[in-house]
């Protein structure tokens, strides 16, 4: 499934979109597609699609195009969706609860195993059959359970100290919803979801085109 040379983040961030569009083609019982047709749907150029896919292998066939099922499957593997991940959520406020309830991540192999919060009013409450634990138990939980991805949903000022605990226990993947940039060693991967940055980008663009006049 692999060629060499480092894959750029620009390419990586397009992969989930390929995965999504191919999944949709599958649901519509379309079993082959050319880079040109895919381009028309997904909005990347055909040339870019072929370049992107060729980073990972020769999935197409001249004169034919790509087999949808096969390509979807390959991209799943490239994204690591053929594996299972144990996840935990730290912070059971608005965002934490929303993510906890987002059960559709399960189908991609992400299994929520535990939820932590420091608010005594939340500790003990169950979300999707998982009882919220006191965050003081986070360390000992990590000593006794394999966790692949930790999801940080605590307020900004607590995020770094939570990250420090996670790192000290060997967690290598952090999905960070706190509006701050976490300091972690190089071998720990952070994926940020900065909602206010996204919203600010939207307001910038509204004003830029003079679409917004008060």
Q: Write out the residues near a second copy by the rule CB under 8 A.
A: 7, 12-13, 15-17, 19-20, 43, 78-81, 83-85, 94-95, 97-99, 101-102, 104-105, 108-110, 148-149, 172-173, 175, 179-181, 187, 189, 191, 193-209, 211-212, 214
Q: In which residue are the tokens 């999504």 written? A: 20
**46 is an interface residue for DNA by CB under 7 A:** yes
Cα–Cα distance for residue pair 30/2, rounded to 1 Å: 26
Using alpha carbons, list the distances in angstroms from residue 92 to 46, 115, 147.
Answer: 43, 7, 18
Task: Assess contact for 158 and 96: CB atoms under 8 A.
Answer: no
Judged by DSSP in three states, 92 sits in coil
Decide whether 45 or 61 has the Cβ nearer to a second copy.
Answer: 45
93 is known to lie in a ligand binding site: yes
Q: Which does 139 bind (CB under 5 to 8 A by kind): a second copy, DNA, none?
A: none
**34 is an interface residue for DNA by CB under 7 A:** yes
Decide whether 8 or 145 has the Cβ nearer to DNA.
Answer: 8
Task: Please choose, out of 64-72, 83-91, 126-134, 166-174, the segment that lies near DNA by the rule CB under 7 A.
Answer: 64-72
User: 50 CB contacts (<8 Å, ≥6 apart)?
Assistant: 35, 60
Cα–Cα distance for residue pair 164/142, rounded to 1 Å: 13
95 is known to lie in a ligand binding site: yes
63 is known to lie in a ligand binding site: no
Q: In this structure, what token pair is assigned to residue 79?
A: 């994204």
């Amino acid at each position: 499934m692999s060629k060499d040379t480092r894959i750029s983040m620009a390419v990586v961030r397009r992969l989930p979109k390929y995965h999504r569009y191919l999944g949709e083609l599958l649901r519509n019982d379309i079993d082959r597609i050319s880079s040109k047709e895919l381009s028309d749907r997904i909005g990347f150029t055909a040339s870019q699609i072929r370049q992107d896919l060729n980073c990972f292998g020769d999935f197409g066939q001249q004169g034919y195009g790509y087999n949808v099922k096969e390509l979807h499957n390959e991209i799943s593997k490239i994204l690591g969706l053929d594996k299972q991940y144990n996840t935990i959520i730290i912070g059971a406020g608005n965002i934490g609860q929303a993510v906890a309830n987002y059960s559709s991540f399960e189908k991609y192999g992400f299994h929520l195993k535990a939820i932590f919060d420091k608010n005594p009013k939340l500790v003990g409450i169950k979300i999707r059959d998982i009882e919220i634990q006191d965050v003081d138990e986070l360390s000992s939980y990590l000593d006794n359970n394999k966790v692949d991805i930790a999801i940080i949903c605590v307020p900004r000022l607590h995020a770094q100290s939570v990250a420090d605990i996670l790192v000290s226990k060997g967690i290598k993947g952090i999905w960070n919803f706190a509006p701050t940039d976490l300091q972690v060693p190089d071998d720990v991967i952070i994926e940020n979801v900065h909602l206010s940055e996204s919203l600010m980008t939207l307001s910038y663009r509204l004003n830029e085109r003079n679409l917004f006049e008060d």
